[in-house]
């Protein structure tokens, strides 16, 4: 996978077009062997923007390999030429927060600034929106490293 030096993502509400802040965006890379990689979710700012750098992706992959030696193989360049970009499901956020709470020394290894990251993750608004990921090819990312992610509000359950 040839990932751009920087991927700019703008997240907005599909109906209103309003930018969405505090949304944890995740990138998934498809490995050619063993398990796929998920890059540390980034939270959008007040303009609904987040930047995901190639260095962020490489760091996440390296840390996953260090933390789970037998589960992963290959680096970013060995991944398939397609990514999935989307909303980190709220149930995944809950699991991440619980894991960090119970084993902070281990789970902090995957993050550059774990204390501030997990404090921010508590504020994520992902539960308000549906997970509707988009798939992007290496060619699409190369042609335009700026992507819009439009999210649909969850309907209240009765």
Q: What is the pLDDT of residues 32-87, one digit of tens each?
A: 988 999 998 899 999 999 999 999 999 999 998 888 978 888 899 999 999 999 99
| Number of separate domains in the chain | 1
Report if residue 114 sits inside a domain. Answer: no
Report if residue 21 sits inside a domain. Answer: yes
C-alpha to C-alpha distances, 123 to 39, 63, 86, nearest whole angstrom: 19, 24, 18
Report if residue 115 sits inside a domain. Answer: no
Report if residue 1 sits inside a domain. Answer: no
Instruction: Taking residues 21-35, report their average pLDDT.
Output: 95
pLDDT at 70: 84
More confident residue, 73 or 126: 126
Q: What is the CATH number of the domain that holds 84?
A: 2.60.40.1120
Report if residue 55 sits inside a domain. Answer: yes
pLDDT at 61: 92
Report if residue 103 sits inside a domain. Answer: no
Q: What is the pLDDT of residues 75-119, one digit of tens each?
A: 999 999 999 999 999 999 999 999 999 999 998 888 888 899 999
Cβ atoms < 10 Å from Cβ of 2:
12
Report if residue 84 sits inside a domain. Answer: yes
Containing structural domain, residue 81? 6-89+124-151
Q: Is the pLDDT of residue 158 over 80?
A: no
pLDDT at 66: 87
pLDDT at 119: 93
Q: How confident is the model at residue 15 (pLDDT cuts 50, 70, 90)?
A: very high
SS (H, E, C) the chain: CCCCCEEEEEEEECCCCCECCCCEEEEEECCCCCCCEECCCEECCCCCEEEEEHHHHHHHHHHHHHHCCCCCCCCHHHCCCEEEEEECCHHHHHHHHHHHHHCHHHHHHHCCCHHHHHHHHCCCCHHHECCCCEEEEHHHHHHCCEEEEEECECCCCC
Whose CA is closest to 128, among 97, 87, 98, 96? 87
């Amino acid at each position: 996978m040839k990932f751009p030096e920087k991927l700019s993502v703008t997240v907005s509400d599909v109906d209103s077009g309003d930018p969405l802040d505090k949304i944890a965006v995740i990138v998934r890379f498809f490995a050619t062997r063993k398990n796929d990689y998920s890059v540390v979710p980034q939270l959008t700012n007040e303009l609904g923007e987040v930047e995901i750098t190639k260095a962020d992706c490489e760091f996440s992959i390296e840390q996953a390999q260090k933390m789970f030696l037998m589960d992963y193989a290959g680096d970013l360049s060995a991944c398939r030429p397609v990514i999935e970009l989307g909303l980190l499901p709220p149930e995944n956020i809950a699991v991440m927060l619980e894991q960090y709470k119970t084993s902070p020394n281990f789970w902090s290894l995957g993050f550059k600034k774990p204390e501030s990251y997990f404090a921010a993750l508590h504020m994520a608004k992902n539960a308000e929106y549906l997970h509707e990921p988009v798939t992007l090819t290496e060619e699409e990312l190369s042609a335009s490293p700026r992507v819009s992610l439009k999210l649909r509000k969850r309907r209240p359950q009765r």
